[in-house]
Amino acid sequence: MNLIQYITPFLFTVGLFSQENLNRLGPDDWPSWRGPSYNGSASGQSLLPTDFGPENSIKWKVSLPGPSAATPIIVNGKVFISSISESEDPNEKGKGELLALCFDREEGTLLWQRSAGSGYRPSGDGYDFLLHNKSNYASPSPVSDGKNVIYFYGNGDLVSYSFKGVENWRRNLQQDYGDFCFQWTFSSSPTLYNGKLYLPILQRNEPVHGRGVSNATSFLLCMNPEDGTTIWKHDRPSDAKKESLESFGTIIPHRGQLVVAGGDVLTGHDPLSGKELWRWGTWNENHKQEWWRLVPSPVFGGGVFLVCAPKKAPVFAIKSDLVGTHSGSRGVVWKSKEQGNLTSDVPTPLFYEKRFFLLSDLRKTLSKVNPRNGDVEWSLALPGKYKWRSSPTGGGGVIYLMNHHGEVLVISSQLGKVLNSAKLGSKYEDNVRSSVAISKGQLFVRTNENLYCID
Protein backbone atom coordinates (compact mmCIF):
# COMPACT_ATOMS: atom_id res chain seq x y z
CA MET A 1 0.00 0.00 0.00
CA ASN A 2 1.45 3.42 -0.96
CA LEU A 3 1.38 6.49 1.28
CA ILE A 4 -1.69 8.04 -0.37
CA GLN A 5 -3.67 4.83 -0.02
CA TYR A 6 -2.60 4.62 3.60
CA ILE A 7 -3.44 8.15 4.74
CA THR A 8 -6.61 8.77 2.69
CA PRO A 9 -8.96 6.81 5.01
CA PHE A 10 -7.50 8.73 7.96
CA LEU A 11 -8.06 12.08 6.26
CA PHE A 12 -11.68 11.21 5.56
CA THR A 13 -12.14 10.18 9.19
CA VAL A 14 -10.82 13.42 10.67
CA GLY A 15 -12.67 15.46 8.07
CA LEU A 16 -9.76 17.18 6.35
CA PHE A 17 -11.49 16.44 3.10
CA SER A 18 -14.42 14.46 1.75
CA GLN A 19 -14.90 12.70 -1.57
CA GLU A 20 -17.40 15.40 -2.47
CA ASN A 21 -14.83 18.16 -1.93
CA LEU A 22 -12.14 16.22 -3.79
CA ASN A 23 -14.37 15.96 -6.84
CA ARG A 24 -15.82 19.43 -6.91
CA LEU A 25 -13.56 22.00 -5.23
CA GLY A 26 -10.27 23.18 -6.71
CA PRO A 27 -7.15 23.80 -4.61
CA ASP A 28 -7.42 27.57 -5.10
CA ASP A 29 -11.15 27.94 -4.47
CA TRP A 30 -12.46 30.10 -1.62
CA PRO A 31 -15.71 28.20 -0.94
CA SER A 32 -16.85 29.77 2.32
CA TRP A 33 -16.58 32.91 4.42
CA ARG A 34 -13.24 31.99 6.10
CA GLY A 35 -11.82 30.14 3.13
CA PRO A 36 -10.84 26.52 2.45
CA SER A 37 -9.22 25.96 5.87
CA TYR A 38 -11.92 27.79 7.89
CA ASN A 39 -9.26 30.10 9.34
CA GLY A 40 -9.00 33.02 6.91
CA SER A 41 -5.79 31.87 5.21
CA ALA A 42 -4.72 30.91 1.70
CA SER A 43 -1.50 29.20 2.66
CA GLY A 44 -0.70 27.64 -0.72
CA GLN A 45 -0.59 30.92 -2.65
CA SER A 46 2.85 32.53 -2.54
CA LEU A 47 2.39 35.47 -4.94
CA LEU A 48 -0.44 37.89 -4.20
CA PRO A 49 -1.02 41.57 -5.05
CA THR A 50 0.50 44.07 -2.62
CA ASP A 51 0.89 47.24 -4.69
CA PHE A 52 -2.59 48.18 -5.84
CA GLY A 53 -5.06 51.02 -5.58
CA PRO A 54 -8.34 52.29 -7.01
CA GLU A 55 -6.67 53.03 -10.37
CA ASN A 56 -4.00 50.32 -10.64
CA SER A 57 -3.83 46.51 -10.64
CA ILE A 58 -7.62 46.30 -10.92
CA LYS A 59 -8.52 43.43 -13.24
CA TRP A 60 -12.18 44.38 -13.11
CA LYS A 61 -14.66 46.34 -11.04
CA VAL A 62 -18.44 45.96 -11.05
CA SER A 63 -21.19 47.92 -9.35
CA LEU A 64 -23.36 46.15 -6.80
CA PRO A 65 -27.09 46.79 -6.33
CA GLY A 66 -26.78 47.41 -2.59
CA PRO A 67 -24.71 47.06 0.59
CA SER A 68 -23.99 43.87 2.52
CA ALA A 69 -21.42 42.48 4.96
CA ALA A 70 -21.25 39.22 2.97
CA THR A 71 -17.81 38.12 1.76
CA PRO A 72 -17.60 36.83 -1.84
CA ILE A 73 -16.82 33.16 -2.41
CA ILE A 74 -14.94 31.97 -5.49
CA VAL A 75 -15.51 28.47 -6.87
CA ASN A 76 -14.90 26.89 -10.30
CA GLY A 77 -14.42 30.15 -12.16
CA LYS A 78 -17.39 31.93 -10.58
CA VAL A 79 -17.81 34.55 -7.88
CA PHE A 80 -20.92 34.32 -5.70
CA ILE A 81 -22.13 37.05 -3.38
CA SER A 82 -25.23 38.13 -1.48
CA SER A 83 -26.68 41.60 -1.78
CA ILE A 84 -29.82 43.68 -1.51
CA SER A 85 -31.66 45.99 -3.86
CA GLU A 86 -33.30 48.81 -1.96
CA SER A 87 -36.52 50.41 -3.09
CA GLU A 88 -36.04 53.86 -4.65
CA ASP A 89 -39.44 54.97 -3.38
CA PRO A 90 -38.89 57.23 -0.32
CA ASN A 91 -42.13 55.88 1.11
CA GLU A 92 -40.74 52.34 0.94
CA LYS A 93 -37.67 52.95 3.12
CA GLY A 94 -36.14 49.69 4.33
CA LYS A 95 -37.88 47.62 1.68
CA GLY A 96 -36.53 45.87 -1.37
CA GLU A 97 -35.18 42.51 -2.55
CA LEU A 98 -32.72 39.99 -1.17
CA LEU A 99 -30.42 39.03 -4.04
CA ALA A 100 -28.14 36.15 -5.01
CA LEU A 101 -25.49 37.18 -7.56
CA CYS A 102 -23.06 35.20 -9.71
CA PHE A 103 -20.18 36.78 -11.67
CA ASP A 104 -17.63 35.35 -14.07
CA ARG A 105 -14.30 35.50 -12.27
CA GLU A 106 -12.24 36.30 -15.36
CA GLU A 107 -14.27 39.16 -16.84
CA GLY A 108 -16.49 40.28 -13.98
CA THR A 109 -19.55 39.71 -16.15
CA LEU A 110 -22.81 39.22 -14.29
CA LEU A 111 -23.87 35.66 -15.19
CA TRP A 112 -27.09 35.65 -13.22
CA GLN A 113 -29.00 37.48 -10.52
CA ARG A 114 -31.88 35.98 -8.56
CA SER A 115 -34.40 37.45 -6.17
CA ALA A 116 -33.75 35.06 -3.29
CA GLY A 117 -36.05 36.50 -0.61
CA SER A 118 -39.41 35.01 0.23
CA GLY A 119 -40.75 38.23 1.71
CA TYR A 120 -41.01 36.59 5.13
CA ARG A 121 -40.64 39.02 7.96
CA PRO A 122 -40.87 38.23 11.66
CA SER A 123 -43.51 39.67 13.94
CA GLY A 124 -42.58 43.08 15.28
CA ASP A 125 -40.20 43.79 12.40
CA GLY A 126 -41.30 46.83 10.44
CA TYR A 127 -39.09 46.23 7.39
CA ASP A 128 -38.58 43.65 4.69
CA PHE A 129 -34.89 43.19 5.34
CA LEU A 130 -33.45 46.12 7.29
CA LEU A 131 -33.49 45.77 11.07
CA HIS A 132 -31.29 48.73 11.94
CA ASN A 133 -28.91 51.16 10.30
CA LYS A 134 -25.78 48.99 10.65
CA SER A 135 -26.77 45.79 8.90
CA ASN A 136 -29.27 44.00 6.68
CA TYR A 137 -30.55 40.49 6.01
CA ALA A 138 -27.93 39.88 3.28
CA SER A 139 -25.04 39.89 5.78
CA PRO A 140 -24.33 36.10 5.84
CA SER A 141 -21.85 34.83 3.24
CA PRO A 142 -22.82 32.04 0.80
CA VAL A 143 -21.16 28.62 0.77
CA SER A 144 -20.50 26.10 -2.02
CA ASP A 145 -19.56 22.44 -2.38
CA GLY A 146 -18.33 22.96 -5.95
CA LYS A 147 -21.61 21.81 -7.46
CA ASN A 148 -24.24 24.10 -5.95
CA VAL A 149 -24.17 27.35 -4.00
CA ILE A 150 -26.28 28.00 -0.90
CA TYR A 151 -27.32 31.46 0.25
CA PHE A 152 -28.64 32.23 3.73
CA TYR A 153 -30.32 35.48 4.80
CA GLY A 154 -31.04 36.94 8.22
CA ASN A 155 -34.80 36.65 7.81
CA GLY A 156 -34.42 32.84 7.70
CA ASP A 157 -34.45 32.32 3.92
CA LEU A 158 -32.14 29.49 2.85
CA VAL A 159 -31.86 28.94 -0.91
CA SER A 160 -29.77 26.61 -3.07
CA TYR A 161 -28.90 27.28 -6.72
CA SER A 162 -27.03 25.36 -9.36
CA PHE A 163 -24.02 27.10 -10.86
CA LYS A 164 -26.28 28.04 -13.77
CA GLY A 165 -28.67 29.86 -11.44
CA VAL A 166 -31.40 27.21 -11.39
CA GLU A 167 -33.11 27.08 -8.00
CA ASN A 168 -32.73 23.65 -6.42
CA TRP A 169 -34.72 24.21 -3.25
CA ARG A 170 -35.62 26.83 -0.66
CA ARG A 171 -36.97 27.00 2.88
CA ASN A 172 -37.40 29.59 5.61
CA LEU A 173 -36.05 28.60 9.03
CA GLN A 174 -38.23 31.07 10.94
CA GLN A 175 -41.32 29.57 9.38
CA ASP A 176 -40.08 26.10 10.29
CA TYR A 177 -38.79 26.71 13.83
CA GLY A 178 -40.28 29.99 15.04
CA ASP A 179 -39.18 33.61 14.74
CA PHE A 180 -35.58 34.34 15.72
CA CYS A 181 -34.94 36.12 19.03
CA PHE A 182 -32.03 38.47 18.28
CA GLN A 183 -31.35 42.05 19.31
CA TRP A 184 -29.50 42.67 16.03
CA THR A 185 -29.74 41.24 12.53
CA PHE A 186 -28.96 37.52 12.58
CA SER A 187 -25.97 36.93 10.32
CA SER A 188 -24.31 33.55 10.92
CA SER A 189 -22.96 32.04 7.71
CA PRO A 190 -23.75 28.39 6.86
CA THR A 191 -21.07 25.66 6.88
CA LEU A 192 -20.69 22.74 4.46
CA TYR A 193 -18.74 19.81 5.87
CA ASN A 194 -18.48 16.21 4.68
CA GLY A 195 -21.60 16.42 2.57
CA LYS A 196 -23.81 18.08 5.19
CA LEU A 197 -25.03 21.66 5.68
CA TYR A 198 -24.84 23.16 9.19
CA LEU A 199 -26.16 26.34 10.77
CA PRO A 200 -26.20 27.53 14.42
CA ILE A 201 -29.24 29.36 15.79
CA LEU A 202 -27.95 30.59 19.15
CA GLN A 203 -30.58 33.06 20.32
CA ARG A 204 -32.08 34.54 23.45
CA ASN A 205 -35.02 32.83 25.17
CA GLU A 206 -37.44 35.75 25.12
CA PRO A 207 -38.88 38.14 22.54
CA VAL A 208 -36.89 41.27 21.73
CA HIS A 209 -38.27 44.35 19.93
CA GLY A 210 -41.49 42.42 19.43
CA ARG A 211 -39.71 39.60 17.56
CA GLY A 212 -39.41 35.99 18.62
CA VAL A 213 -41.25 33.79 21.06
CA SER A 214 -41.10 33.06 24.78
CA ASN A 215 -38.95 30.13 25.91
CA ALA A 216 -37.16 29.96 22.57
CA THR A 217 -34.29 27.47 22.48
CA SER A 218 -30.85 27.71 20.93
CA PHE A 219 -30.01 24.87 18.57
CA LEU A 220 -27.74 23.53 15.85
CA LEU A 221 -29.26 22.43 12.56
CA CYS A 222 -27.93 19.81 10.14
CA MET A 223 -29.46 19.61 6.66
CA ASN A 224 -29.09 17.68 3.44
CA PRO A 225 -27.57 20.15 0.92
CA GLU A 226 -29.17 18.25 -1.97
CA ASP A 227 -32.77 19.02 -0.97
CA GLY A 228 -32.60 21.19 2.17
CA THR A 229 -34.35 18.68 4.42
CA THR A 230 -33.44 18.53 8.11
CA ILE A 231 -31.26 15.60 9.15
CA TRP A 232 -31.11 16.55 12.81
CA LYS A 233 -31.85 19.45 15.14
CA HIS A 234 -29.94 19.53 18.43
CA ASP A 235 -30.78 21.88 21.29
CA ARG A 236 -27.80 23.67 22.84
CA PRO A 237 -28.65 24.94 26.34
CA SER A 238 -26.80 27.73 28.14
CA ASP A 239 -26.96 29.57 31.47
CA ALA A 240 -26.25 32.90 29.79
CA LYS A 241 -28.79 35.70 30.12
CA LYS A 242 -30.57 37.99 27.67
CA GLU A 243 -28.34 39.25 24.85
CA SER A 244 -25.43 37.10 26.06
CA LEU A 245 -27.32 34.10 24.67
CA GLU A 246 -26.99 35.50 21.15
CA SER A 247 -24.19 34.48 18.77
CA PHE A 248 -23.51 35.62 15.21
CA GLY A 249 -20.58 33.28 14.63
CA THR A 250 -20.19 30.37 12.25
CA ILE A 251 -19.68 26.66 12.95
CA ILE A 252 -16.03 25.66 12.46
CA PRO A 253 -15.30 22.01 11.58
CA HIS A 254 -12.17 20.42 12.98
CA ARG A 255 -11.06 16.77 12.96
CA GLY A 256 -14.43 15.11 13.00
CA GLN A 257 -16.25 17.63 15.19
CA LEU A 258 -18.16 20.90 14.93
CA VAL A 259 -16.99 23.75 17.14
CA VAL A 260 -19.29 26.64 17.97
CA ALA A 261 -19.09 29.62 20.36
CA GLY A 262 -21.97 31.48 21.96
CA GLY A 263 -24.11 31.67 25.07
CA ASP A 264 -20.96 32.25 27.15
CA VAL A 265 -19.47 28.84 26.21
CA LEU A 266 -17.43 27.02 23.58
CA THR A 267 -18.67 23.56 22.60
CA GLY A 268 -17.71 20.66 20.33
CA HIS A 269 -20.34 18.45 18.67
CA ASP A 270 -20.65 15.20 16.76
CA PRO A 271 -21.44 16.04 13.09
CA LEU A 272 -23.56 12.90 12.73
CA SER A 273 -25.98 13.67 15.57
CA GLY A 274 -25.21 17.10 17.04
CA LYS A 275 -24.46 15.45 20.39
CA GLU A 276 -22.30 17.65 22.59
CA LEU A 277 -18.85 16.10 23.04
CA TRP A 278 -17.33 18.76 25.29
CA ARG A 279 -17.97 22.20 26.71
CA TRP A 280 -15.76 24.94 28.09
CA GLY A 281 -16.86 28.19 29.72
CA THR A 282 -17.24 30.78 30.75
CA TRP A 283 -15.56 34.10 29.94
CA ASN A 284 -18.57 35.68 31.65
CA GLU A 285 -18.05 34.92 35.35
CA ASN A 286 -21.30 33.77 36.95
CA HIS A 287 -23.04 35.04 33.80
CA LYS A 288 -23.22 38.53 35.29
CA GLN A 289 -22.94 40.36 31.97
CA GLU A 290 -26.32 40.28 30.21
CA TRP A 291 -25.27 42.19 27.06
CA TRP A 292 -22.30 40.15 25.82
CA ARG A 293 -23.58 38.95 22.44
CA LEU A 294 -20.82 37.11 20.60
CA VAL A 295 -19.76 37.97 17.05
CA PRO A 296 -16.38 36.30 16.30
CA SER A 297 -16.23 32.64 15.34
CA PRO A 298 -13.73 30.29 17.01
CA VAL A 299 -10.47 29.55 15.17
CA PHE A 300 -8.23 26.49 15.38
CA GLY A 301 -4.46 26.75 15.10
CA GLY A 302 -1.29 25.53 16.77
CA GLY A 303 -3.14 22.86 18.73
CA VAL A 304 -5.69 25.20 20.36
CA PHE A 305 -9.06 26.77 19.74
CA LEU A 306 -9.00 30.55 20.06
CA VAL A 307 -12.24 32.12 21.29
CA CYS A 308 -12.81 35.86 21.80
CA ALA A 309 -14.90 37.19 24.65
CA PRO A 310 -17.02 40.27 23.76
CA LYS A 311 -16.40 43.99 24.23
CA LYS A 312 -12.86 44.53 25.63
CA ALA A 313 -12.66 41.19 27.45
CA PRO A 314 -9.72 38.78 26.90
CA VAL A 315 -9.28 35.98 24.40
CA PHE A 316 -8.83 32.37 25.50
CA ALA A 317 -6.80 29.52 24.00
CA ILE A 318 -8.61 26.25 24.74
CA LYS A 319 -7.26 22.71 24.50
CA SER A 320 -8.42 20.83 21.42
CA ASP A 321 -8.75 17.40 23.08
CA LEU A 322 -11.36 18.16 25.72
CA VAL A 323 -14.02 15.66 26.74
CA GLY A 324 -16.89 16.53 29.07
CA THR A 325 -17.59 19.84 30.80
CA HIS A 326 -14.86 22.24 31.90
CA SER A 327 -14.87 25.68 33.50
CA GLY A 328 -12.50 28.28 34.86
CA SER A 329 -8.84 27.49 34.19
CA ARG A 330 -9.53 23.85 33.38
CA GLY A 331 -8.95 23.36 29.67
CA VAL A 332 -7.33 26.79 29.22
CA VAL A 333 -3.85 26.85 27.66
CA TRP A 334 -3.50 30.61 28.06
CA LYS A 335 -5.58 33.73 28.48
CA SER A 336 -4.72 37.25 27.32
CA LYS A 337 -4.18 40.02 29.82
CA GLU A 338 -7.05 42.15 31.05
CA GLN A 339 -7.21 45.55 29.30
CA GLY A 340 -4.58 44.47 26.76
CA ASN A 341 -4.55 44.67 22.97
CA LEU A 342 -5.47 40.98 22.58
CA THR A 343 -9.20 41.36 22.42
CA SER A 344 -11.79 41.36 19.64
CA ASP A 345 -15.40 42.40 19.77
CA VAL A 346 -16.35 41.81 16.11
CA PRO A 347 -13.57 40.45 13.82
CA THR A 348 -12.76 36.74 13.76
CA PRO A 349 -8.99 36.14 14.17
CA LEU A 350 -6.79 34.76 11.40
CA PHE A 351 -4.50 31.73 11.70
CA TYR A 352 -1.68 31.90 9.19
CA GLU A 353 1.98 30.80 9.05
CA LYS A 354 1.59 29.00 12.41
CA ARG A 355 0.49 32.19 14.17
CA PHE A 356 -2.74 33.90 15.18
CA PHE A 357 -3.34 37.42 13.89
CA LEU A 358 -5.76 39.14 16.20
CA LEU A 359 -7.52 42.31 15.09
CA SER A 360 -8.82 44.41 17.97
CA ASP A 361 -11.51 46.67 16.57
CA LEU A 362 -11.87 48.48 19.90
CA ARG A 363 -8.13 48.94 20.52
CA LYS A 364 -7.40 49.55 16.80
CA THR A 365 -4.44 47.17 16.74
CA LEU A 366 -3.38 44.07 14.84
CA SER A 367 -1.25 41.63 16.84
CA LYS A 368 0.74 38.55 15.87
CA VAL A 369 0.40 35.92 18.58
CA ASN A 370 2.18 32.64 19.36
CA PRO A 371 -0.57 30.00 19.76
CA ARG A 372 1.45 27.99 22.29
CA ASN A 373 1.73 30.64 24.98
CA GLY A 374 -0.03 33.83 23.86
CA ASP A 375 3.19 35.81 23.49
CA VAL A 376 2.79 38.86 21.24
CA GLU A 377 5.48 38.93 18.55
CA TRP A 378 4.42 42.32 17.24
CA SER A 379 1.49 44.69 17.61
CA LEU A 380 0.62 47.36 15.06
CA ALA A 381 -1.50 50.46 15.70
CA LEU A 382 -3.97 50.95 12.85
CA PRO A 383 -4.45 54.34 11.18
CA GLY A 384 -7.42 56.59 10.57
CA LYS A 385 -10.72 57.41 12.22
CA TYR A 386 -12.77 54.53 10.77
CA LYS A 387 -13.36 51.22 12.55
CA TRP A 388 -11.44 48.11 11.48
CA ARG A 389 -14.02 45.34 11.76
CA SER A 390 -13.58 43.12 8.71
CA SER A 391 -11.94 39.83 9.68
CA PRO A 392 -8.28 39.67 8.51
CA THR A 393 -7.16 37.45 5.62
CA GLY A 394 -3.67 36.00 5.11
CA GLY A 395 -1.66 34.78 2.12
CA GLY A 396 1.54 35.42 0.20
CA GLY A 397 3.35 36.56 3.33
CA VAL A 398 0.94 39.43 3.98
CA ILE A 399 -2.20 40.21 5.95
CA TYR A 400 -5.15 42.07 4.37
CA LEU A 401 -7.45 44.25 6.49
CA MET A 402 -10.32 46.52 5.48
CA ASN A 403 -12.02 49.26 7.49
CA HIS A 404 -15.52 50.72 7.37
CA HIS A 405 -14.45 53.23 4.71
CA GLY A 406 -13.32 50.52 2.29
CA GLU A 407 -9.60 51.17 2.86
CA VAL A 408 -7.50 48.02 2.48
CA LEU A 409 -4.21 47.66 4.35
CA VAL A 410 -1.47 45.26 3.21
CA ILE A 411 0.69 44.30 6.19
CA SER A 412 3.86 42.19 6.27
CA SER A 413 3.12 39.09 8.34
CA GLN A 414 6.75 38.84 9.45
CA LEU A 415 7.55 42.47 10.20
CA GLY A 416 4.19 43.92 11.16
CA LYS A 417 4.70 46.90 8.83
CA VAL A 418 2.17 48.47 6.45
CA LEU A 419 3.24 47.82 2.85
CA ASN A 420 0.31 49.51 1.13
CA SER A 421 -2.92 51.35 1.79
CA ALA A 422 -5.58 51.28 -0.93
CA LYS A 423 -8.74 53.36 -0.62
CA LEU A 424 -11.30 51.34 -2.58
CA GLY A 425 -14.43 52.69 -0.93
CA SER A 426 -16.27 55.73 -2.20
CA LYS A 427 -16.15 59.09 -0.44
CA TYR A 428 -19.30 58.45 1.57
CA GLU A 429 -18.93 54.77 2.48
CA ASP A 430 -18.68 54.30 6.23
CA ASN A 431 -19.92 50.79 7.06
CA VAL A 432 -17.96 48.32 4.90
CA ARG A 433 -17.62 45.00 6.77
CA SER A 434 -16.90 42.29 4.18
CA SER A 435 -13.57 40.41 4.37
CA VAL A 436 -11.01 40.07 1.58
CA ALA A 437 -11.14 36.73 -0.30
CA ILE A 438 -8.20 35.10 -2.13
CA SER A 439 -8.20 32.81 -5.16
CA LYS A 440 -5.56 31.91 -7.77
CA GLY A 441 -3.29 34.83 -6.99
CA GLN A 442 -6.10 37.37 -7.03
CA LEU A 443 -7.93 39.36 -4.36
CA PHE A 444 -11.69 39.81 -4.29
CA VAL A 445 -12.79 42.87 -2.35
CA ARG A 446 -16.35 43.89 -1.73
CA THR A 447 -17.27 47.41 -0.61
CA ASN A 448 -20.87 48.49 -0.18
CA GLU A 449 -20.97 49.80 -3.75
CA ASN A 450 -18.50 47.71 -5.77
CA LEU A 451 -16.88 44.31 -6.20
CA TYR A 452 -13.20 44.32 -7.20
CA CYS A 453 -10.93 41.67 -8.66
CA ILE A 454 -7.31 42.70 -8.00
CA ASP A 455 -4.61 41.02 -10.09
The domains of the chain are located at 40-67+360-369+378-388+390-432+434-455
Name the percent of the chain lying above pLDDT 90: 82
Q: Which CATH number fits domain 40-67+360-369+378-388+390-432+434-455: 3.20.20.10, 3.40.50.300, 3.60.21.10, 2.40.10.480?
A: 2.40.10.480
Model confidence over 225-282: pLDDT tens digits?
A: 999 999 999 999 999 999 999 999 999 999 999 999 999 999 999 999 999 999 999 9
Work out the average pLDDT over 158-162.
98
Work out the average pLDDT over 308-319.
96
What confidence score (pLDDT) does residue 57 get?
95
What confidence score (pLDDT) does residue 309 get?
96
Name the percent of the chain lying above pLDDT 70: 92
What confidence score (pLDDT) does residue 127 get?
57
> Whole-model pTM?
0.92
> Is the confidence at residue 393, as pLDDT, over 80?
yes
Confidence band for 331, pLDDT divided at 50, 70 and 90 = very high
What confidence score (pLDDT) does residue 120 get?
87
Mean pLDDT of the chain: 91
Mapped to the 3 state alphabet, what secondary structure does the chain carry? CCHHHHHHHHHHHHCCCCHHHHHHCCCCCECCCCCCCCCCECCCCCCCCCCCECCECEEEEEECCCCCCCCCEEECCEEEEEEEEECCCHHHCCCEEEEEEEEECCCCCEEEEEECCCCCCCCCCCCCCCCECCECCCCCCCEECCCEEEEECCCCEEEEEECCCCEEEEEEHHHHHCCCCCCCCCCCCCEEECCEEEEEECCCCCCECCECCCCCCCEEEEECCCCCCEEEEEECCCCCCHHHHCECCCCEEECCEEEEEECCEEEEECCCCCCEEEEECCCCHHHCCCCCCECCCCEEECCEEEEECCCCCCEEEEECCCCEEECCCCCEEEECCCCCCCCCCCCCCEEECCEEEEEECCCCEEEEECCCCCCEEEEEECCCCCCCCCCCEEECCEEEEECCCCEEEEEECCCCCEEEEEECCCCCCCCCCCCCEEECCEEEEECCCEEEEEC
Work out the average pLDDT over 434-441.
96
> Is the confidence at residue 125, as pLDDT, over 70?
no
What confidence score (pLDDT) does residue 87 get?
74
